[in-house]
Amino acid sequence: NEYISTNFLSMAKDQEYSKYLQNKISYDADFLHDTIFPLFIDSLVDLCNDYFGNYLVQKIIEKCNKSEFKILFNTVSNFNSRY
């Protein structure tokens, strides 16, 4: 998990690592909630605009809980209101 914490953004933008993260999220909810989501939220807009990162964003949206979804929504809304 330390490797992921340090290299999350580059992993999310890499085809193979993005697939790995998507698969791990699919069967390990704690991994999503405890490890990925806190790292992900700061990179949300960047990942939305990346080819492989976008697939990870879609998987996170599919698997996140309601409170995480609200954070996602607010992050995107705040980003859009600045531009």
pLDDT in tens, the chain (83 residues): 789 999 999 999 999 999 999 999 999 999 999 999 999 988 988 999 999 999 999 999 999 999 999 999 998 887 765 55
pLDDT at residue 75, rounded to an integer: 87
CB 28 within 8 A of CB 36: no
pLDDT at 30: 93
**Global model pTM greater than 0.75:** yes
What percent of the chain is helix, strand and coil (3-state, nearest 5)?
90, 0, 10
Q: Hunting for tokens 């492989």 — which residue is that? A: 52
Q: Count other Cβ atoms within 10 Å, centred on residue 19.
A: 14
